[in-house]
Structure formats: C-alpha cells, structure tokens
Amino acid sequence: MIEPSISHLSTGARRVKTSENEERGLIEKIMIFLVTIVFIITFPISVWFCVKSINEYERAVIFRLGKLKQSKPVGPGFVFVLPIIETFAKIDLRTISFDIPTRNVITYDAVSIEVDAVVYYHVFDPIGAVTQIEDYGYAIEKLAQAGLRNTVGKKTLEEFTSQKKQVANSLTTFLDSITDEWGLKIERVEIREVGLPISMKRALAAEAEAAREAKAKIISAEGELSASSVLKQASDVIATNPTALQLRYLQTLTTVSAELNHTILFPLPSEILSLFYIGYHSNMAIS
C-alpha cells in the first residue's frame, strides 16, 4: 500500500516540474519575441547597443535570461547581444602576473623569514572562470598567499635557501591542482627575495667565514705537503752529485742580483764552522 503512494507522489512531482519548465520556456520565448520586435522597430539605432567588439586576446561568455547561450565562448570579432535579456562577460586570455606581498613565514625549524614571490597564470576556460568562481583574480591571490605560507613551513631554513626552485615548483603544483577546475592555468611561480633577521644574518655570515677559513687551512696544509714531497725529491737528486748544490747556489745568487739588492747573504757550510770549533777547543786545551 505504501509503494503505490510513493510512485504516485513522484509521478505528480515530475508532472509539476514539467509544467513549470514549459511555462518558463513559454515566458522566455515571449520575452525574446518582444525584444526582437523592439530591436527591429528601433533599427538601426538599436544596433549600436547590440553589437559588441571582442579583441583577439579576449573571449565573451554570453548569458540569455541567466543561462549560458552557447556551450563555448565566442570571439574574437563582433558579437551580437540582445539588450535586457542577454548579458555577456569578457575574459582576458593573456598571461596575468601579480605579486605575493612580502609575508613573515615561519620555517619548519621555527625561523621567521620574509618571502616575496610572483605568480604567472592565464585563463584557458573562460566559461569555467565565469561560472565556477565569482572573482578568480582575488581568489587566486589569497590562495597563493596561503600556499606560500604552507609550502615554506614544511622546509627548514637551510632547505629553503638551497632549494628555492623546488619550493617554487611545489607551490606551482599546489595552486594548479586547485585552480584547474576554475579554468585557470598556473604557469610558474618565482620566489624573488628572502629576508632574514639581523641575528640570523650574523650567524650565517660567521658560519660562512668559519667554513672559508677551514677550507683555506686545508688547502694550505695540502700545499705544504706537496711542497715538502717535492723538496725531498730535489734534495735526493742534489745529494747524488755535490756539484748540483754549487750550481743551485750560483743560480740563487743570480736571482738575488737581478733584484738590485745591496745586501747579499752568503751561506757558510757547517763543515767550516766545525773546523773553527775544533781549533778553538784545541787551543784551550793547550793553554
């Protein structure tokens, strides 16, 4: 007994809905007919209010009595729009850019930094940009600000400063996944500046200076090691022939004299000093 009553109710609802649609369709036809008659009567004056110009980089989405007139946007060129019953919205298809205002963002390791970025996007579906969201420009700006804060918050300061390109790509993917249903395509995101606190700048500068000093000491030590190895090889070669030492001595004098120095130091062999030392002790023993 219950099932027939439910079926009767659903059938009655469908009939009421069908009658409403037929009545609405009849009203729309009457309004279109009246507006067309007015357009014909006032022609050619009315044509100046009905013909719209759409540029090459624009597309028009036309609504008739609040409904989409066509499933595709129209343009470029001249578009015919009936007054009163039809409205249209022009959508720019060129690449649009906007700045993400400088914001204080806290990284994963609790460091507060200031980040400034630029977002580039364009509209690929004008109908979606008009019907899916009220103001896509304002919406994408707010979404980019929130996305930047969330993306940077997942990285430490060191990771963010060394992987800015990867962070920008992650933000691009995040924004594009949301704005795709709005008919928008995020082309790229560029992170321009990163501001650090003064204390953090000093700490990073001290760290970089210490790293450079350590590297310089390592290079100097490696140079001394290489030099000592070469000097050892040279001393071994000179030791095989005493004449080589005399030639090296003369070469050193030539180098010194070429610099116009007035003072020249002559090396004194230790064997001569040992002779003086032995003679001195001998005289002391005799006395």
Do 103 and 186 fall within a single domain? yes
User: Is the bond leading into 44 cis (omega within 30 degrees of zero)?
Assistant: yes
Do 46 and 127 fall within a single domain? no
- Rounded Cα distance between 48 and 131, Å, is 28
Bridge-based pairing state of the strands 86-92 and 96-106? unpaired
Do 210 and 260 fall within a single domain? no
Residue type, 234: A
Confidence at residue 266, expressed as pLDDT on a 0 to 100 scale: 62
In the block, residue with structure tokens 């800015």 = 164
Do 271 and 179 fall within a single domain? no
The answer to whether residues 163 and 155 touch, using CB atoms and an 8 Å cutoff, is yes
In the block, residue with structure tokens 């027939």 = 4
Do 13 and 77 fall within a single domain? yes
Structural domain span for residue 150: 96-196
Q: Which residues, 6 or more positions from 85, have their beta carbon under 8 angstroms from its beta carbon?
A: 31, 32, 35, 64, 65
- 3-class DSSP assignment, residue 181: helix
Number of domains the chain contains: 4
- 3-class DSSP assignment, residue 17: helix
Do 24 and 109 fall within a single domain? no
Do 24 and 64 fall within a single domain? yes
Confidence at residue 284, expressed as pLDDT on a 0 to 100 scale: 59
Length of the chain: 287
> Domain boundary residue among 52, 74, 91?
91
Do 123 and 209 fall within a single domain? no
Confidence at residue 3, expressed as pLDDT on a 0 to 100 scale: 46
> Domain boundary residue among 91, 124, 150?
91
In order of 32, 73, 82, 119, 239, the CA distances from 251 in angstroms are 110, 90, 103, 69, 17
Do 166 and 258 fall within a single domain? no
Confidence at residue 283, expressed as pLDDT on a 0 to 100 scale: 58
Confidence at residue 22, expressed as pLDDT on a 0 to 100 scale: 64
Per the DSSP assignment, residues forming a β-bridge with 86 are 64
> Domain boundary residue among 38, 65, 91?
91
Confidence at residue 200, expressed as pLDDT on a 0 to 100 scale: 67
- Rounded Cα distance between 36 and 26, Å, is 15
Do 79 and 35 fall within a single domain? yes
Do 280 and 248 fall within a single domain? yes
- Rounded Cα distance between 115 and 191, Å, is 7
Per the DSSP assignment, residues forming a β-bridge with 123 are 184
Do 51 and 101 fall within a single domain? no
pLDDT 10s digit of each residue in the chain, 287 long?
A: 444 555 544 555 555 556 656 666 677 777 777 777 877 777 777 777 788 889 999 999 989 888 888 888 988 888 888 888 888 899 999 999 999 888 888 888 888 888 889 999 999 999 999 999 989 999 999 999 999 888 888 888 888 888 888 889 999 999 999 999 999 999 999 988 887 767 666 776 777 778 888 888 888 888 888 888 887 787 777 777 777 766 776 777 777 666 656 666 666 666 655 666 665 556 555 65
